[in-house]
A = this chain, B = another copy of it.
Amino acid sequence: MAVGWKGMPEMHPVAGIRLGTTCAGIRVEGRRDLVIMEVEPGAVCAAVFTRNLFCAAPVLLAREHLALGSPRYLLINTGNANAGTGARGLADARTCCRRVAGLAGVPEEAVLPFSTGVIGEPLPVEKIVEALPAAMGALEPTGWTDAAYGIMTTDTVPKGASRRVTLDGTQVTVTGIAKGAGMIRPDMATMLAFVATDAPVEAALLQRCLEDAVNDSFNRITVDGDTSTNDACVLISTGRAPLSPITSVEDPRYPLLAGAVRSVCEQLAQAIVRDGEGATKFITIEVTGGCDERECLQVAYTIAHSPLVKTAFFASDPNWGRILAAIGRAGIPDLDIGALTVHLGGVSLVRDGGRDPDYREEAAQAVMDRDEIPIRIDLRRGTASARIWTCDLSHDYIRINAEYRT
């Protein structure tokens, strides 16, 4: 069970969006594994995708279709990533889009494909095509929670977030779902996340709004350091709220809406880490006092990816020497280890290059015994800072990933 999981929140529908979920039997019979998201005409769509060079066929095709116009349908399958599948994979993704287009009476390029699951195996096109009418028939404005279940793979809980903000006296909604538990170290995007709002936003500004939000949320989490081949995050503005379009960051409504989008993305990103494969701890790593954000992130990710640090957290063992070793190998030039400080929760671990003289193991142990643990490193050489979220490394991570294909 995910760390700190409190159940799905209330998912406010977004005017102009309907979702339908069904079981296509792609990998496991009877599991919800196929989702269609319908977008009303006139909506605007922003998206970011993985930077993994071996990006999946659906990522390539979604990029191609997005360049041709705004999408009307998003087709999402789990159980097969359609990645590492070469020319055949691309043809398979095209076939699926064409069949959705045929059922809906829209051009093929108005359908965006998204896949997640095993890499390197051919997409079972027939199973998907056969299940499309059922997914179309299930389309409902209230389909968000079902869809959150429908995009799960090794996730143990569905992930959703929903916010309402008032712009010029009109209430607008931002609602989103995400999936992901392993192969999580998004780079410019995330596993799969779909966010929509009825607030009208001009296309370029919507893209900026998404990129800013993703940069502080999905791009700040890691479970295992493995950037996926299929990461994608989509933000749709249906524009159905009775408001004039937001076209500039100077518009006083923009920061309100951007804040809601960021909040939804942050909650979804944290939900992915809380449900990280085998996770028993939710860890926030904050690095301050850096020369620039890049070096703060470098220190933070070196700690977050250290298997030794992660297993110590799993054991609730305040073996903070491993954090020190990770900082020391992070590759930061001219870092003065005599100046920096390290805190675990409120407990000072390190100063003057060694253990804080006031350190007491009982105090550190009390912090480690919690489910949610903050680490703070002050490099004390500049004003930049960064914050990321990660989880521990447990027996269940090994079990899940050793048994993944069985």
Residues of A within 8 A of B (CB): 51-55, 81, 83-89, 118-121, 182-183, 185, 187, 224-229, 305-308, 311-312, 314-315, 317, 319-322, 324-329, 332, 335, 337, 350, 352-355, 393-395, 397-399, 401-406
Contacts and interface: CB of A to CB of B under 8 A. Distances in A.
How many of these chains are in the complex? 2
Nearest to A333: B53
Interface on chain A toward B: helix, strand, loop, or mixed SS?
loop
A307 B225 contact: yes
A84 B350 contact: yes
Contacts of A307: 224-226, 307, 393, 397, 401
A337 B85 CA distance: 12
Contacts of A354: 84-89
Contacts of A332: 53
A306 B226 contact: yes
Contact of A319 (B85, B118, B227, B337): B118
Contacts of A401: 307-308, 311-312, 315
Given A183-B308, A404-B317, A229 B324 contact: yes
Contact of A337 (B54, B81, B185, B399): B54
A182 B324 contact: no
Contacts of A85: 354-355
A46 to B, nearest CB: 23
A404 B325 contact: no
B324 A119 contact: yes
A403 B355 contact: no
A269 to B, nearest CB: 18
Nearest to A403: B315
Contacts of A183: 308, 322, 325
A119 B322 contact: yes
Given A120-B321, A224-B307, A229-B324, 8 more contacts: A53-B332, A54-B324, A87-B353, A88-B354, A183-B308, A226-B306, A227-B325, A319-B404
